[in-house]
Structure 1
Amino acid sequence: MSSSPQNSSSHSDQISTTLIEPAPDNTVVQREATPSETVAPDEEMPLAPIAIYVAGKLRVEFANKGLEKECEAAAQELSAITNQSISPHDYGTIFGYEAGKESDDSAYLSRKTRPYRYLAENAKWVLSVDEQDTYVIEPHSVVELNEFIHFLKQNESQSNSHNLCVIIGEQFGYTESGNEEASVLPKVHCKHMFSFNADNEAVEKKLTGAGINTTSRAINDLLRLLNVKQNRGNTESERAKNFLAFRYPDIYAIRNSEVTEKSSERTTAGQTEHEFLRRIDTRIAQSAPEHTLVDVIFHYQRSVSGRQFSYYATVDVSQLFPYLHSPLSDYIPHSQ
């Protein structure tokens, strides 16, 4: 039961604040704190989680020397078992190794086991954005942990510097990163993770195979202006832009296929008109209660005539997982 209002001047030496305690039956009750007790601001009123939709590079850090030495020993043991040179930094290979195929010496090893999985469970997973450590990522379940391990193993085998780790989750407080500087970073509970190959040629090949007419230049301009490799993915506009970049391939289609003018009208003095992406804007759109909609506006310009035209798509970012509210459409500014 909450305490009744009191005169603060006469009771300041008796009551400092109100603490929340669980009762034996798991109900929540309140009690008055004694003058000797203190409550940290974040414990007094926990902050709401911040939705995160971010892309970066995922790496492993160990919080102490003991874990580092354990991983080194695992690499040596695995090298002997597989007759391959395994580096202590081949975390995907080590964490994901499944025993039982190379040895039948014991009933334990004859089963399908992952003897080095405990290292992954004790690791710190750090996400860097634009080469800056940005978040410590905590897997929500074994599913996300498997995704982390698979991502590392995939990068070890392909050596793809363009492969981005896309994290969807919620930021809760801060924690130490585990690196030598013992940096304190925002902590994110990952609810889903997937990889995105941001290489222009790889994206073009994938989209062309899906029947989308695009070019490497169009892809490069979009990824550069969407700023997906530099933003922290913790604002409504950044989450909307990142969602479109990774989940809505239609934005990569070259827009000249939608221009209605005849081809003869698109040349000037023998020069062919080309459309290029000039800038990208975002704005909060009108929406129903409890919904937050973001318009992402793509502004194009023709290379010879200078004529400008725009398209926009609307993303609902109300929940943890954004979704497309309205597809790419012609955008006409109110001033026109």
Structure 2
Amino acid sequence: MEEPRVEHEDLTVLPGDGPSAAPAAQPPSPVTVARVPMSPEPAPPPPPAAAMPQTATLQSLPATVREPATEAPPRHVYALGRIEPRFPSLGVEKEWAQVVGRSDAAGLTDREAVRGFLGKRANRYLAREICWVFTVEGVETYLLHPRDPADFKLLIQSLRPEEGLTDSDVDVVIGTLGPIAPPEVCNGLTLPVCLFDQLYSFDADSLISSIPRPENVPAERFESVALDLFLNVVQLADNAGATDEHRALNYLSVRYPAIYHVAAERLAANAALTTVDVDTSRLATTRRVVNVIFSYRDRQTDVVDRYFVRVDVTEKYPFLVSKLAPYFAR
């Protein structure tokens, strides 16, 4: 049997005379196999413009991403400091200058002018435009915003005249900590927003004079001791009123007179306040309860006496769990 003849020059194949080959009157036309160059797989075409990923924003994210199933609990604020108005932009500052220019501001300081003009209903729109910066020990800490728009008047009323302003003047803010404000909100300041529910202002002297005085302590002596204790609490390092420890301390300093009574009595016994410590109560199970411990050292014997009070700081408004009592370390 004759094998098929294959010519490699033009790759022409001629069928043979094998048994499976049927006779044919005419030979078939030559079949030419073209050479196909090998090439890598072509890259997939780019997705259409509509399918290209866009820059993610909070609104463009799915609801399950913007609002996860397990959200972190809100962070509450109970802070002591000062409120200062700031102009967020040049436009708002010029608008304010026009309002003052149309009014009689002769003899008024800047703070008096702000309080007087913003207190008028016609100028209340500027109170919503101004940045209200809360400072702690002179450090810019929060941007304040009322949860209820009607509480803008509380911000205006917090501006006391400069001639009566002293280092003992304090503003108390109670609210919830929000996100960090972008730079364009307040002329480049990037501070956390505090959405406040309660705000009140006082001077430390008025606070101390309103505290009932122990019978065995002279009035002048008690006021001096109480003021010293209050200023020590306010000036604690990094007390921004956002942690459980600082919220408990700030709450006690403005709402619980017993800590001032004990401070005056211990000083009369020649014992000075040395430390204020805060730790988590072992009784806390389902709620957050802290022990605030005041330590007094006798100036002659160096013996340390401690007193403590339990405060529940689970929610926005702290409250007492147990009254001030002697503390015995384990």
- TM normalised by structure 1 equals 0.70
CA deviations over 1:42-62 (Å, ceiling 9, x no partner): 963556431111111111112
Task: Find the aligned partners of 1:39 and 1:179 in 2 and give their Cα distance.
Answer: 21
The 8 Å contact of residues 233 and 249 in structure 2, kept in 1 or not, is answered as no
DSSP-derived class of the 2:134 partner: strand
Partner letter of residue 181 of structure 2?
A: T
Aligned with 1:184: secondary structure? Answer: coil
2:175 pairs with 1:169: yes
Shift of the 155–247 alpha-carbon distance from structure 1 to 2, 3 Å rule, reads farther
- AA aligned to 1:283 is D
1:235 paired with 2:258, answer no
* Among candidates 80, 85, 93, match of residue 107 of structure 2: 85
SS in 2 for 1:189: strand
Aligned pair partner of 1:51 in 64, 76, 80: 76
Structure 1 alignment gaps of length 5 or more? 1-13, 15-33, 98-113, 260-271
Q: In structure 2, do the counterparts of structure 1 residues 78 and 71 end up closer, same or farther at CA, with 3 Å as the change threshold?
A: same
Q: Is the 8 A contact 1:301 1:307 kept in 2?
A: yes
Which residue is 2:210 aligned to?
A: 206
Larger radius of gyration: 2
The whole-number CA distance in structure 2 between the counterparts of 1:326 and 1:140 is 31
Partner of 2:117: 94
CA contact (8 A) 2:279 2:292 kept: yes
State, as a whole percentage, how many aligned pairs show the same letter: 25
Report Cα offsets for 1:3-46 as digits up to 9, x if no partner: xxxxxxxxxxx9xxxxxxxxxxxxxxxxxxx7725646996355
Aligned-partner SS, 1:280: strand
**Distance across 2 between alignment mates of 1:130 and 1:184:** 18
Query: What pairs with 1:1-336 in structure 2 (closer than 5 Å)?
Result: 36-37=53-54, 39=56, 44=65, 48=72, 49-79=74-104, 84-87=106-109, 89=111, 90-97=113-120, 114-152=121-159, 154-156=160-162, 158-176=164-182, 182-198=188-204, 201-208=205-212, 213=217, 214-225=222-233, 227=235, 230-255=238-263, 257=265, 273-287=269-283, 289-334=285-330
Structure 2 unmatched runs, 5+ = 1-46
The 3 A distance-change label for structure 1 pair 195 and 210 is farther
Secondary structure of the equivalent of 2:322? strand
The change in CA–CA distance for 1:121 and 1:171 in structure 2 (over 3 A counts) is same
Displacement of 1:311 in angstroms is 0.6
Paired residue total: 270
